[in-house]
Amino acid sequence: MLAGCGIVYFGNDWYAENRTSSHHVATRLAAVTPLLYVDSPGMRAPQASGRDIRRAMRKLAAALRRPTQVEKNLWHCTVPQLPFRRVPGVDAFNRAFGRWAVRRAMRALGTTRHISWFVVPHPGFLARRLGEELCVYYCIDDYAAHPGVDAAIIGLRDDALTRCADLVFVAPPALVAAKRALNAQTRFSPHGVDVALFGRAMDPATPLPEAASGLPGPVVGYFGSIHEWIDLEMLEWLARMRPQWMFLLVGHAATDVSSLRALPNVKLVGAQPYRDLPAWAKAFDVAIIPYRHNRQVEHANPLKLREYLATGKPVVSVGNAEIDKFARWVHIAEGREMFLAALEKALHEDPAGAAAERMAAVADQTWDNRVREVLDQVSAALASRQSAWEGCEEPR
């Protein structure tokens, strides 16, 4: 399908607790052709502290190691950038070191033809500098809106990579128009879901995790990172308003959750293996997406939306451009009072057959299907590729 081309894939941390679309797409691409997964840390804007400098040095040391094979046809390496981009000389060092390190690691693929595939924008200065035959940008987020990043520089890198790529795939619908204005070869490509995995939440044979067994019900559940974009104040208010409910939160807490942890009807169990999430979801009576409304959330296409639906559980969520498309199967609520009312309705008025309808709503939206659709377009572009090198200058 890819005419013997290896893929050099710049993604999120391969060993992160959460499995993102970066991981789902990469593993399926590797089933088709050799793939080098390049961890690309360095998007966060750090402080010029000894801790950050030491961390950067450790990452640079890791980049000197040869790629390791982590799955059949899939190799992993780390090629970090020094994140102090405003310091004179750092940007030039990142460019030179990054190109040398990636080209060195590419030998592991054993292929003479390559495609570069970017899921994050900050290593985008390497686009068209690796001898690749095609450049793909698979944009899954509004990266400049992430907390703690150098928004101005990440925004410039994002725009530059969008212009430079031969094909741009965009997961959040709210970003499609802006990306298409920069590159006419922009396609909407929504996230997929591992239907078979999350369907285990409805399987009587799936055992509950010990920490989820015997919880007093009903159980309001969440899985995913607990970060700044989660409305912790609303969660605390909901828990206080319904002390007879149990709030089960599954995921790494990257922000202060002490006020929630102090409540007797809130249980935080930390990060759990991805493949165990359906077992935790089995304990949910209703699943929630309690985001704050900010720029990042407005442009988000949350993976957990389809994962929740694939479990068959009722879902209560705030709205955005992607979530609103599922209003037929999701209770969409804005504000704490509406969210509480939606929870009451989801818990007590779920009609017979609704679980099957929710699962059917995403049954054909598997990652396998999503990647197949993308690959069809990449293969066509590769077969009839034109030399579209305009707009590739990296902002200085």
Q: Is the pLDDT of residue 279 over 70?
A: yes
Query: How far apart (Å, rounded) are the C-alpha atoms in residues 392 and 2?
Result: 24
Radius of gyration for the chain, computed over Cα atoms and rounded to the nearest angstrom = 22
Q: Is the pLDDT of residue 51 over 60?
A: no
User: Three-class SS of residue 96?
Assistant: helix
Question: Whole-prediction pTM value?
Answer: 0.88
Q: Is the pLDDT of residue 49 over 60?
A: no
Query: What's the pLDDT band for 94 if we cut at 50, 70, 90?
Result: confident
- Find tokens 């704050």 and name the residue: 292
User: Three-class SS of residue 374?
Assistant: helix
Query: What's the pLDDT band for 24 if we cut at 50, 70, 90?
Result: very high
pLDDT at residue 63, rounded to an integer: 62
User: Three-class SS of residue 150?
Assistant: coil
Tokens encoding 297: 């959330």
Instruction: Mention every residue, 6+ apart, whose C-beta is less than 8 A from residue 87.
Output: none
Instruction: Mention every residue, 6+ apart, whose C-beta is less than 8 A from residue 163.
Output: 182, 183, 390, 391, 392
Kindly state the average pLDDT of the residues 186-204.
96
Query: How far apart (Å, rounded) are the C-alpha atoms in residues 284 and 354?
Result: 15
Q: Is the pLDDT of residue 394 over 60?
A: no
Query: What's the pLDDT band for 16 if we cut at 50, 70, 90?
Result: confident
Bridge partner list, 36:
8, 75
**What is the percent of the chain where pLDDT is above 90?**
68
Query: How far apart (Å, rounded) are the C-alpha atoms in residues 180 and 127?
Result: 19
Which CB contacts under 8 angstroms, 24+ apart, belong to 147-156? 147/227, 147/228, 147/229, 147/296, 148/44, 148/45, 149/43, 149/44, 149/45, 150/43, 150/44, 150/45, 150/83, 150/85, 150/86, 153/85, 153/86, 153/122, 154/43, 154/121, 154/122, 156/395
Q: Which CATH number fits domain 6-192+366-383: 3.40.50.2000, 2.130.10.10, 3.30.450.20, 3.30.1280.10?
A: 3.40.50.2000
Q: Is the pLDDT of residue 151 over 90?
A: no
C-alpha distances in angstroms, 71 versus 79, 212, 277?
19, 32, 22
Q: Is the pLDDT of residue 158 over 50?
A: yes
Q: Which of 291, 287, 267 is nearest to 278 (CA)?
A: 287
Q: Is the pLDDT of residue 385 over 80?
A: no
pLDDT at residue 387, rounded to an integer: 47
Q: Is the pLDDT of residue 286 over 90?
A: yes
Q: Is the pLDDT of residue 396 over 70?
A: no
Tokens encoding 118: 């970017």
pLDDT at residue 35, rounded to an integer: 96
Winning range, highest mean pLDDT, from 39-43, 45-49, 113-117: 113-117
How many C-beta neighbours within 10 Å does residue 354 have? 15
User: Three-class SS of residue 365?
Assistant: coil
pLDDT at residue 43, rounded to an integer: 60
Tokens encoding 59: 């990452």
Q: Is the pLDDT of residue 2 over 80?
A: no
Residues of the chain with CATH 3.40.50.2000: 6-192+366-383, 195-361
Q: Are 115 and 134 in contact (CB under 8 A)?
A: yes
Task: Determine how β-strand 74-78 pairs with β-strand 68-71.
Answer: antiparallel
Residue that wins the pLDDT comparison between 85 and 305:
305
The mean pLDDT value of the chain amounts to 89
Kindly state the average pLDDT of the residues 110-132.
93
Is the domain spanning 195-361 CATH 3.30.360.10? The answer is no
Query: What's the pLDDT band for 62 if we cut at 50, 70, 90?
Result: low
- Find tokens 């054993």 and name the residue: 110
Query: How far apart (Å, rounded) are the C-alpha atoms in residues 287 and 63?
Result: 40
- Which string of b and e fits 364-373 if b means at least 16 CB within 10 Å? ebbbeebbee
Q: Are 81 and 42 in contact (CB under 8 A)?
A: yes
pLDDT at residue 390, rounded to an integer: 47
Estimate the crossing angle of helix 232-241 against helix 336-348, to 10 degrees.
Answer: 50
* Least confident residue range of 42-51, 131-140, 318-327: 42-51
Q: Is the pLDDT of residue 319 over 90?
A: yes
Question: What pLDDT, in 10s, does the model give residues 340-370?
Answer: 999 999 999 999 999 999 999 999 999 999 9
Tokens encoding 155: 């925004």
Query: What's the pLDDT band for 34 if we cut at 50, 70, 90?
Result: very high
Kindly state the average pLDDT of the residues 207-234.
94
Residue that wins the pLDDT comparison between 161 and 17:
161
